[in-house]
Amino acid sequence: MRTAVGIGWRPEIDLTVERLAGVDFVEVVAENVCVGHLPESLRVLRERGVEVIPHGVGLGLAGADRPDPARLARLAEVADALGSPVVSEHLAFVRAGGMEAGHLLPTPMTWDALDVVTENVRVAQDALPVPLALENPATLLTWPDNEMSEARFLTELVERTGVRLLIDVANLHTQRINHGVDPAAALAELPLEAVEYVHVAGGVERDGLWHDTHAHPVTEPILEVLATLCALRPPPRVLLERDGDFPTAGEIAAELAAIRAVVDRTAARR
């Protein structure tokens, strides 16, 4: 089956996304969707048969608290309203002690943390009408008492819960620059058969750290990580993320074409 290629739907580029050729699916930020008032461009895309995947940013499944039932209920409502095949979230925590961080914070890669995340994922899975996929986050720091790699953590989580994966190749590139983690080694350790889809996004390096901005062009090293993943096991879907400093429609189309070229080139070699 040919890999689907999509783009993150954002209000700033709604008409651009609607008019782009070759968009097989889109992703929306779940917390920004008003179920009773879907934007016209989203309705148009759905009528064309374009899949719409809700991407959550607020569950905090790696936090010490159990997922908020109200947040889960709303995420389930969004998935139902959009007819989504899957819902995605991050392997991160976003709050503690009732305080919101405003960021996706890194998970301690420990066995105790794995037990907590496992139970949180099971609670979320029980509340959602479709499968849940977890994304590997981009991080600027790691915990000093980590007991395993992120790839091992995710592999253990998949084995315990059957959760699906959203692999962000830009975040793997981030881990390479910021923490010296080889993307190829990480991919080799992951259960790629569990991958539901893939993120590709741009960023920028400042003072030796990679910042996953989603506001810069996708670089060649990130496309190379995508190629490595596709060579190991072609994913069902690959999505371009852009959340700021939106370029022209032509530039967006060129980035999508570059992603499609990588996907098709690696598929031809298999």
pLDDT, one tens digit for every residue, the chain (270 residues): 799 999 999 999 999 999 999 899 999 999 999 888 889 999 999 999 999 999 999 898 998 889 999 999 999 999 999 999 999 999 998 776 776 666 678 899 999 999 999 999 999 999 999 999 999 988 888 888 999 999 999 999 999 999 999 999 999 999 999 999 999 999 999 999 999 999 999 999 999 998 989 999 999 999 999 999 999 999 999 999 999 999 999 999 999 999 999 999 987 776
Domains of the chain: 4-269 (3.20.20.150)
Question: Cα–Cα distance between 25 and 45 in angstroms, integer?
Answer: 9
pTM of the model: 0.95
pLDDT score for 96:
66
Tokens of 26: 């889109």
Residue 234, phi-psi category: left (phi > 0), alpha (psi -120 to 50), beta (remainder): beta
83 φψ region: left (φ > 0), alpha (ψ -120 to 50), beta (else): left
What crossing angle do the helices spanning 220-232 and 249-269 adopt, rounded to 10°? 40
Are β-strands 204-206 and 209-211 bridged in parallel, bridged antiparallel, or unpaired?
Answer: antiparallel
Q: Are 162 and 154 in contact (CB under 8 A)?
A: no
